[in-house]
């Protein structure tokens, strides 16, 4: 068995979250379906973390297993058949017992708020006009 880690980025507006939820369009479902087509076998991916509907990811990882090593440009083909809201950035062979969720050594989240109102920040942050609110150190506020 060969295990691969796939680094992806996505626009959360295009998905109903990252984890499979029935027939809804999710990041994991899109990856599973695309990998099934490309690798010509049923594929299941496992994500490093979950995001809600509308939440973007600049970097997230999924791992999956195959019986034989991948010997073609999977990233090129994966990006060719997935939606514009999802991009496969990197594919790395990892140890057969490695797990992108449980073996992660860190995670980083960034929350984006903006004030004043700006139509070009819609879907890229939260309009939050209130001044003086106490915010997390992980929050970027655009004024």
pLDDT in tens, 41-88: 999 999 999 889 989 999 999 999 999 999 999 999 999 999 999 999
pLDDT in tens, 4-38: 999 999 999 999 999 999 999 999 999 999 999 99
Fold held by 2-94: Alpha-Beta Plaits (3.30.70)
Catalytic residue among 32, 52, 65, 97: 52
Q: Are 50 and 104 in contact (CB under 8 A)?
A: no
Sequence-distant (≥ 6) Cβ neighbours of residue 66 within 8 angstroms: 1, 2, 4, 39, 41, 43
Q: Are 27 and 8 in contact (CB under 8 A)?
A: yes
What is the model's pLDDT at position 139? Answer: 74
* Stretch 87-111: mean pLDDT: 94
What is the model's pLDDT at position 143? Answer: 62
Q: Residues spanned by CATH 3.30.70.580 within the chain?
A: 2-94
71 is catalytic: no
Cα 54 to chain centroid, rounded: 12
């Amino acid at each position: 068995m060969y295990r691969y880690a796939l680094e992806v980025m996505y626009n959360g507006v295009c998905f109903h979250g990252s984890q499979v939820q029935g027939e809804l369009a999710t990041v994991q479902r899109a990856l599973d379906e695309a990998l099934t087509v490309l690798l010509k076998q049923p594929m299941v991916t496992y994500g490093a973390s979950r995001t809600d509907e509308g939440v973007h990811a600049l970097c997230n990882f999924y791992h999956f297993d195959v019986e034989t090593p991948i010997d073609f440009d999977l990233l090129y083909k994966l990006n060719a058949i997935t939606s514009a809201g999802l991009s496969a950035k990197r594919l790395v062979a990892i140890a057969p017992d490695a797990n992108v969720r449980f073996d992660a050594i860190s995670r980083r989240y960034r929350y984006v708020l903006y004030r004043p109102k700006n139509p070009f920040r819609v879907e890229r942050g939260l309009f939050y006009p209130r001044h003086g609110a106490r915010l997390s150190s992980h929050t970027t506020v655009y004024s």
